[in-house]
Chain A
C-alpha cells in the first residue's frame, strides 16, 4: 500500500474554499447573549475601586469581576499565576478587568460604559534591560564541558548580541468562545481552540466541577499557530462566568483589535553569544545567554524557555557549552506559544553568530557550517548522542547544491562594490536548523496521552483523539496513517469530533506532535480493531486463519475476498461494541533530567536548511525576498502536498518575522493593533518557494515521521537577513530588519569588513 506520501484531497478542503464550513462565530446559538471585555488602559496600575452601575447599563446586562469568581483567580496552565480577571493590580494594557454580557453585541459594548474603575498608575517595566535586573519569571541552565576555561584561552573569540521582536499570530479567525450551563449544572463550552483538554482543565480549576460535568468542544478552526494553545482557556472562563451570571448561553467573539492587544504573542528575545573558535573555524566553546520577554505573566514561558535553551547551540558540534536562560517580566501582554516555541529566536541568534564567525575567518556561510555540522555519533550539550536519523549535513549539502550557494555567495560578495548606481542589490543567504520532535523532556511521559478507536455499527472504525484540525491537516493525515497501518480504505476510518465527552485526552495539538505521537497511536488502535475482527472472522471460516486485509478487503488464502466493512459490520452485529484504547509511552530510553538538563530532551530531531535570495532596492533599502529553497528532512512524508504546504507557510511566516512583522509599542500601548498597520506579507510579497523534502525515518514509530509544523519557522529569518548582508554589506543582528533599521545602521556606518581580519589582532577584541 502506498497511501502515505501521496496527496489525497483533504476532507475539509472544499467547504473551506466555498465558504460553507461553519466556524465558531457562524454557529447558531439559540438565545445566546454576547460578552464584552473591559480592559486596562494602563500597563501597570493599582485598582483603587471598581464600580458596576447596572442602572446605567442596558436592561438585564450583567457584569463579572474578580470578586465574583467561584474559585481560584487563575488560569490553569503550568501553574495558575495568570489571573482570570485583574484583581488589585493590572499588569498590561488590554488586561481584562471585568466582563459583561447583554442580549446584543451593541448592548454589551454599551454595558462596558457602566463600569467605573479608579486606577492609580504605577511605574511600568517595559524595557527588557530594566526587566532583566528584576527577579526572573523563570530561569534555566545547561552546561557541558568547560566553556569558561576554553573561552579564556580562545584562539579567536567572537561575540555578538542578537535581538528578535514580538510576532502576532494573525490567524484568520479571531478568538471565539461560547459557553452555556445545562439544567443539571454541567457546563458546555465550544469555540476555536487547539487544546480542548487545556480548556477543560482550566474550567474545572475555577468552577470546582468534576471532569464529566464539563464538556469542551473544539469547532473547526481558522488557524492557530500556537495562539490558541493558551489563550482559549481565558476567554472560555470569561464566557462561562458570564453565562452563569446571566442565565443564558454567552458568546465572546474578539475583533482583530482586541485579539491583537489582548492575546499572547511570540516572545521577544535578546541572545548573547561568546564563542571560542580555532584557526580552522571549529567551535571550541560557546557561552550563550538567552533572555526572553515573558510579558506580564508566566503562562507557558518556562517550557518556551526550555525549548529555547535546548536549541540555542543549533545543529552544531561543540564540546564545551554553557547556556543560561531566563524569562523576564514586563508590563506587556503575556507572550506564549507560537509556532517554533522559542527555537526560532535562539536559532536566529546562532545562525547570525555562525555568519559572523565565518566573516572573521574569511570563510563563507556554507563552509563554516560544514566544518561544524552535527553528525551521527556527535553529542548535543545535553549529552544526547545523535542517531542515524541525524540529517543536518544532508540538508546543508542538498540546499547548497540545489542553489550553487558557495559560488553565488562569493560572486555576489565580490561584485557588491561594482554594482552600478541604481541597480538593485542581489544577495543570497543560508541557514541550518533543527527542531526537537514532540514535547520537551519528559513532557510526553507526563501527558499520558490516550488514543481510542471504536468499531461502529456500520463497520467503519471511529478514531477518537483530541487532535484539532487548524489547517495543518490532521483530519486528512490521521485517517491515512490508520488506513496505511491496517490495510483499510480511507473511507473505512472516521474521526470523532474533538469533544471531551466523546474523545479521550490525547494531549494538545501543539509541538508538531500530532502526526508523530497521536498518529502513531492511531495506527496501533485501528490495527488492533482490525486484528480482533479478523480473528473472529477467521474462526468462522472453514479454511481457518491466515486472512489478511488489503485495500479494504479481507482476503482468504484461496483468493476469496470480502469488504472489510461488511465483515466488521457482522462482527458488530454479533459481538456488540468494540473499543480499543492505548496510552502513549515514549521510548524507555527517552529519559531527561530536569535538574541537570542532561539526557534525551527529544527522541529525535527534524532538520532543515534554507537558502534565501533577496534583492535590495538601492534607493529605499526595501528588501524583496525573491526565492527560498527550503530543504526539510522530516523523517517520513505522510501527505506530500500538506507537508510542502507546511514548509511554504512556515517559511513565509519566518521570512516575514525577519523582514517586516513588527509589534510597535509606546509606553506599553499597541500602536498597530489592526491589519492595516500590523504588516504581514500578501501574495505579492511572497517569494518563489522551492521545497525539497528529505526522509531519514525515526525508528521510534509513526512510520518514521518527526513532525513538520514548526520546523520551517526556524530557518527563514536568519537566511533572509544573511542574504541582506550579502547584498548590502550591512550587518544586521536584530529583526525585523526593516528599511528603517537598515537606514539607522547605514548612517552609523556599521558595514561589515570585506577583508578578513587577522585573527591574532582581533583576538579578544571583537566589537
Chain B
C-alpha cells in the first residue's frame, strides 16, 4: 500500500484526482483500528496532516474557521473556541483520551461519519458550514446536509473536507454538551447531546438541540425545538423537552447500550440542560 504525504492542498487534490481510490486520512485514529477487510479497496493513503492550509483556528469576520486536520487537543485548548464555542471545547475534551485528542481531527470525525461522533451534534447546533475542496474548486454546505446516512457523507469524488466555519453564536446564548459513554475516557458514546439556547424576557427564544448515537446519524431534534421555542421558562418545560426528545429519536439496542437506556438518558440529559436555563 502506498502512502502519500502532500505538503499543499493543490498537491493533495492532484494526487486524489490521479488516484481516486486513495484514502484521505488525518489523525488515523478510526482507520488504524478498522478491520483489514474495510481497507481492501484502498490503493493507498493520502495523509493530509502536513498541509498547513488545513490546520488552524482563526476568526474571519463573524465566523470562526477551523481547518479540517486541526487536532481536538488544539480545539480543546483554543481560547477562541473556549470563549465562543464552549460546547465544542467540551466535546473535544471528551473524545477518546489525551492520546486520541492529540491525533484525531475535527475533519476526520466528520469524514468518518459515525452516528456516535462526539463533535457532530455540536456542529449541528452551531449551524456549522463545511467547506469542501475538490477538482472543481470550493463549495460550502451546511453541516446538517453533509452527514447523509450511516457512514455516508456529501463528499463527492476527489473532494476532501477543507474547513469548518462556525458563525458567532447569538449574544447571551448558553451552550451545553454532555457525553454519556461506556466509561470516563476512551469510550464510545451511548448518547451524546448538544444544546444551544437563549432566553429573553422569561421566554425561551432560541433552542437548538442535537443528539448522537440515537439514530443512523447525529440528528437535530427540530420537532422538540419547535415545541419549546416561545414557551415561558419554567421547570415543566424541561420535563416536556426531555419527554419530546425521547420520542423524537429511534435508538437501537447494540453492544454498548440498550434503546431503552438511550431514550432514558437522552430525556434526562435534555431535561437537566433545560433546567439549568431556569436557574
Chain A residues within 8 Å of B, Cβ to Cβ: 421-422, 619-620, 622, 624, 660, 664, 671-672, 676-677, 679, 681-682, 684-685, 739-740, 743-744
Of B182, B255, B269, B271, which contacts A671 at CB under 8 A? B255
Are B261 and A743 neighbours in the complex by a CB distance under 8 Å?
yes
- The answer to whether B256 and A677 have CB atoms under 8 Å apart is yes
B180 touches A622 (CB 8 A): yes
Convert B32-51 into 0s and 1s, putting 1 for each residue whose CB lies closer than 8 angstroms to a CB of A.
01000000000000000000
Partner of B183, one of A422, A672, A685, A744: A685
Main secondary structure of the interface of B (DSSP, over half): loop
* In the assembled complex, B260 has its CB within 8 A of some CB on chain A: yes
Q: Which residues of A contact B215 (CB under 8 A)?
A: none
Q: Are B260 and A619 in contact (CB under 8 A)?
A: no
Instruction: Select the residue from B255, B261, B264 with max chain A CB neighbours within 10 A.
Output: B255
A620–B268 CB distance below 8 A: yes
Determine if A619 and B269 form an interchain contact, defined as CB atoms under 8 angstroms apart.
yes
Q: Which B residue's beta carbon lies closest to that of A686?
A: B184
User: Once bound together, how far apart are the Cα atoms of A613 and B183, in whole Å?
Assistant: 17
B28 → chain A closest CB, angstroms: 15
Residues of A within 8 A of B269 (CB): 619-620
Closest A residue, CB atoms, query B188? A676
Query: What CA separation (Å) do A676 and B181 show in the bound complex?
Result: 12
The reply to whether A682 and B272 contact each other, CB–CB distance below 8 Å, is no
Chain A proximity mask over B245-277: 1 for CB below 8 Å, otherwise 0: 000000000011110110011001101100100
Which B residues lie within 8 Å of A682 (CB)?
97, 183-186
B residues near A622, Cβ cutoff 8 Å: 180
Q: How far is the CA of A671 from the CA of B254 in the complex (A)?
A: 9
Chain B residue at minimal CB-CB distance from A678: B255
Question: Residues of A contacting B275 with CB < 8 Å?
Answer: 421-422
Cα separation A421 to B269 with both chains bound (whole Å): 13
* CB pair B271 A619 closer than 8 Å: yes
Cβ of B97 to closest chain A Cβ, rounded Å: 7
- In the complex, 14 of the A-B residue pairs with CB atoms within 8 angstroms, ordered by the A residue number, are A619-B269, A619-B272, A620-B180, A620-B265, A620-B268, A624-B184, A660-B182, A664-B255, A676-B33, A682-B97, A682-B183, A682-B185, A685-B184, A740-B258
B255 touching A743, Cβ below 8 Å: no
Minimum Cβ distance to chain B for residue A255 (Å) = 11
Report the bound CA distance from A622 to B255 in whole Å.
17
Inter-chain pairs besides A620-B265, A664-B255, 17 sampled, C-beta below 8 Å = A619-B269, A620-B180, A622-B180, A624-B184, A672-B255, A676-B188, A679-B183, A682-B184, A682-B186, A684-B97, A684-B183, A684-B184, A739-B261, A740-B260, A743-B260, A743-B264, A744-B260
In the assembled complex, how far is the CB of residue A362 from the closest CB belonging to chain B, in whole angstroms? 32
B184 to chain A, nearest CB (A): 4
- What residue in chain A is nearest B191 (Cβ atoms)? A620
Please pick, from A619, A672, A679, A684, the residue contacting B265 in the complex, using a CB distance under 8 A: A619
- The answer to whether A677 touches B184, judged by C-beta atoms less than 8 angstroms apart, is no
Chain B residues whose C-beta falls within 8 Å of the C-beta of A744 in the assembled complex: 260
CB of A169, distance to nearest CB on chain B (Å): 18
Report which of A422, A684, A740 forms a contact with B261, defined as CB distance below 8 A. A740
The CA of A718 and the CA of B48, in the complex, are separated in Å by 50
Determine the residue in chain B with the shortest Cβ distance to A660: B183
Residue of A nearest to B257 (CB): A740
A228 to B255: give the CA distance in the assembly, Å: 27
Within 8 A of A (CB), among B87-111: 97
**Complex Cα–Cα for A681 and B184 (A):** 8
How distant is the Cα of A186 from the Cα of B180 in the complex, in angstroms? 57
Quote the shortest CB–CB distance from B202 to chain A (angstroms). Answer: 21
The residues of A that contact B182 with a CB separation of less than 8 Å are 660, 679
Across the interface, name the chain A residue whose C-beta is closest to B33: A676
Q: Which residue of B lies closest to A747 (CB)?
A: B260
Q: Which 4 A-B pairs have the closest CB atoms?
A: A684-B184, A619-B268, A684-B185, A740-B261
| Complex interface: chain B residues within 8 A of A672 (CB) | 255
Most chain B C-beta atoms within 10 Å of own C-beta, residue among A677, A679, A744: A679
Q: Which residue of B lies closest to A674 (CB)?
A: B33
In the complex, residue of chain A having the shortest beta-carbon distance to the beta carbon of B262 = A740
- A767 shortest CB reach to chain B, Å: 24
Question: Which chain A residues border B268 with CB–CB below 8 Å?
Answer: 619-620
Write the nearest CB–CB distance from B155 to chain A, whole angstroms: 25
CA–CA, A422 to B265, complex, Å?
A: 13
- Chain A nearest CB from B156 CB (Å) reads 31
Q: How far is the CB of B221 from chain A (nearest CB, A)?
A: 17
B224 CB, min distance to chain A CBs, angstroms: 17
A672 and B256 alpha carbons, distance in the complex (Å): 9
On chain A, the residues within 8 Å of B33 by CB distance are 676
A677 touches B255 (CB 8 A): yes
Task: Give min CB distance, B157 to chain A, whole Å.
Answer: 31
- Closest Cβ of chain A to B275, distance in Å, is 7
Chain B residues near A677: list those with CB within 8 A: 255-256
Q: List B residues 138-152 near A (Cβ within 8 Å).
A: none
- Residues of chain B within 8 A of A679, CB atoms compared: 182-183, 187
Residues of A within 8 A of B185 (CB): 682, 684-685
- Chain B residues, CB < 8 A from A671: 255
Pair A681/B272 contact, Cβ less than 8 Å:
no
Residues on A with C-beta less than 8 A from B187 are 679
Which residues of chain A are near B271, meaning CB under 8 Å? 619
Bound CA span A624–B185, Å: 13
Q: How far is the CB of A556 from chain B (nearest CB, A)?
A: 60
> Which chain A residues border B260 with CB–CB below 8 Å?
740, 743-744
Most buried by B among A422, A620, A622, A682: A620
Question: What's the minimum C-beta distance from A565 to chain B, rounded to whole angstroms?
Answer: 47
A421 CA / B275 CA spacing, docked (Å): 10
A142–B264 alpha-carbon span in the complex (Å): 46
Minimum CB–CB distance from A168 to chain B (whole Å) comes to 14
Collect the chain A residues with CB atoms within 8 Å of residue B257's CB. 740
- Contacting residues, chain A, for B180 (C-beta < 8 A): 620, 622
Docked Cα-Cα span, A744 to B268, in Å, equals 15
**Beta-carbon nearest neighbor of B261 in chain A:** A740
Chain B: CB-nearest residue to A671: B255
Residues of B within 8 A of A624 (CB): 184
Quick one: CB contact mask for B168-204 with A, threshold 8 Å, 1 for yes? 0000000000001011111110000000000000000
Bound Cα distance A672, B268 (Å): 27
Chain A's closest residue to B258 (CB) is A740
Q: Which residue of A lies closest to B186 (CB)?
A: A682
Compute how far the CA of A622 lies from the CA of B257 in the bound complex, rounded to whole angstroms: 12
